[in-house]
A and B are shown apart, each in its own frame.
Chain A
Amino acid sequence: MSRPTRTDDASAGLTAANSGMNRRRFLAGTAALAAGGMLMGRPLPAAAQEAPAKGAAARAASSYKLDLGGYAGPELTSQPITLKFMRQEFPPHVNAVLEEAYKEFSAAYPNITIQEEKVPYGDLQKKMQIYVGSGAAPDVMMGRTDFIEAYHAGNIALPLQDYFLDEFLHDILDNQFKAASAKGNFYGAPWETYFTMMYFNRDIFKKAGVPTPPEVTDVNAGWTAEEFIAALDELTQKLRAQGDSTTWALSAATHGNGGPGANYTQVESLWVRSQGDPNADKGSSAYKTFLGVSEDGLQATGYLDTPEAVKGMANYQQLFTKKLAPPTAVPNQFVSGVGAIHFTGLNQASRLFQQKPAFEWGASPFPRGRIAFNCNSSDCPIVWSKTPYPAEAAALVAYLCNDANRIRFYKTWGSMPVRKSLIAAIPEFGNQQLFQLSAAAAASGQGAPRSVGWFDYFNAINPVVRDIALGGDPESQLKQAATRIDGLLRKYR
């Protein structure tokens, strides 16, 4: 574990515990994160989980012409080949990081050409399906851990456990590893993780004279959903009493199309599933609420429409019926200083604060229900099951996920690492509230409901969430949605 040494700002960030977080300090923290991860060749932490069955003997990483990270497959071909990689579009400076990496890869393996296809993030899954259906898909495609069951059932992704070192696999956060695996196979190396945290505008709270959310490092120590709604209600009323009619207590979601129903996985499902309980009796509706879908992944009725789920959605609905949040999409509401609270992930937050908002801000856990709940949603490159170059494709994934490339990526993109060693190597995750809280949220995340038809489920529930936000009855809406989803899932039986 090293002290950050890259900038003075970084040291300042470290010592400024519990004081107001501002943009400068946040960026400093990100930089420190990067610096910490730069340490190479340190021993990996001991594996804490049982590894999936592994056939191929792990090779020593040093035998490859390049640091292929956790790759343990055969040496790469010397034939000239082209590997196609379909991924989301990033801003140019992030794209540059990847392009730099390809250059390095091609220098070591000049016979392997890497060809990228960049598509808008929202189109990734549809495009993947079309490619796979056509029988000519890219060798590597950016998938998502929510859809791992479908990649497995549809024979879309190649099982990768045989191509990776156990140490690498064990280094992945447990919940991420689980999310990236299906039926004993590991399908995609999680790339970064997403979990929702509550960012707040300290100035607005101060102006209204309402206490800010608790700035804690424990996901269980934040506001409850009820406290959250009460605080926002008070904040709203005080702002309105002061004649402020433009500021909202909660800014509009910026995922997907924005506004209510923007992204069930990453935002709205948190309200529902946090009302469940993974430790409750298996037959109980609290347990089923937590699961979100039956064990076989093919039934939503009894899981999505439980009394607990209805309560969660009713809480969510109050945000709109009490006019705490705008009912439609509003771009840049939080960063413009007219939203007191914003729910978003670490990488989005980092981009948001790069826009230099003119206010002091802080971070708090997502409001908890019966449990503190966060849905881990990770992009993860998968290898097409029918690729003619499975070893090379796996090696490319492993290479892009090696420590150096990951650190560079996190540093540039500002997102949350998914490997324990990388998190542990960055001091901020141990001593700075935002990062400590992030690490805790990442470690305690849970996967999306395990269903082969999560794509259908997700697409069916989003508009329902929106309808509830606009005043639909949560119970009947959820019941209808569950019936509808059951119908949609029937084709996977």
Chain B
Amino acid sequence: MATVEIDKVSKAYGAVEIMRGVSARIENGQFTILVGPSGCGKSTLLRMIAGLETITDGEIRIDGEVVNDVAPKDRDIAMVFQNYALYPHMNVADNMAFSLKMRDVPRPEIDRRVREVAGILDLSGLLDRYPRQLSGGQRQRVAMGRAIVRDPQVFLFDEPLSNLDAKLRVHMRAEIKELHQRMKATVVYVTHDQIEAMTMADKIIVMQDGRVEQAGAPLELYDQPRNTFVAGFIGSPAMNFLEGEIDLGSGRFVSGGGLRLPLPPVSSEWDGARAIYGVRPEHFRIDEENGLEAETVVVEPTGSETLVMARLGDHEVACLFRSRIAARAGQTIRISPVAELTHLFDARTTARISVNSSEIRDKHL
């Protein structure tokens, strides 16, 4: 097990810089997820840790040792690829045994470990099969088995679930999580799916355009997004944003469309500033007395909750209610945001300017 430190890492192809001074710390035994839209550099960063990509500037350290110039095979790292990268000419057992063979592990030891891992991953009956004879989920497990059998310092997962169907994905998510908890391994996991990130990670690193936007525990990112990008990326359905001005005198946020919304705590210096008001769909509540009038556009009941797309003045907002809403499309409902759970962002820098504390959150949930 090991700690991975990424220290001001940059990468450029000629004049094109695709990674700019990225720093991050992956703690020993933690499940760290790199998340971001495609092209944000998360896969590149993962491949840099693996040694499959060169680093233009900066350092990557594994357990304190700089590995910039260490060959992939000498980094003691295992990787699970998006397309599994199973050797098609080897059966499951040989695929899993390959890395051990390359390390000249004695044959009985190889057999023992392969059998053991196959048992863990429920692959015992498939050891003689070839990859093309396996289902997607089985291949996925073989790919993991191949990594686990080596007992490496760090596991890297490159969007491992993206080729699976939704149901299997949920199942594998749980399986991987469980496996991690059982093995206490250091894992770096890349995904573009924020639900995967939220459900699996000990720590999430959100990336965009070759930069780290924010790193932290999942709920930390949810509660205290550093900027509109993180705020919009984390959480589903995504946060609603409204542009307007802060009016501390009336204690309201005045949107461009003239809506007046309750303000979260914000320092007085921001009075009159142009800002972006962020409210998560689940932080609207039905408020028959003081609520703002909104016309429902779409109502999507899922049983446990109800997603409503509603027109609020000039804005269309998503609202998620824990209760069943009787309204049908076209009807008017009255809603208001929970002021303490809303966010304010500087319209110019998109950085968060409101202050909210976990006490406030706890009181309301």
Question: A contacts B directly in the complex (CB < 8 Å)?
Answer: no
Interface set of A (CB-CB < 8 Å, partner B)? none
Listed in ascending order, the chain B residues whose CB lies under 8 Å from chain A are none
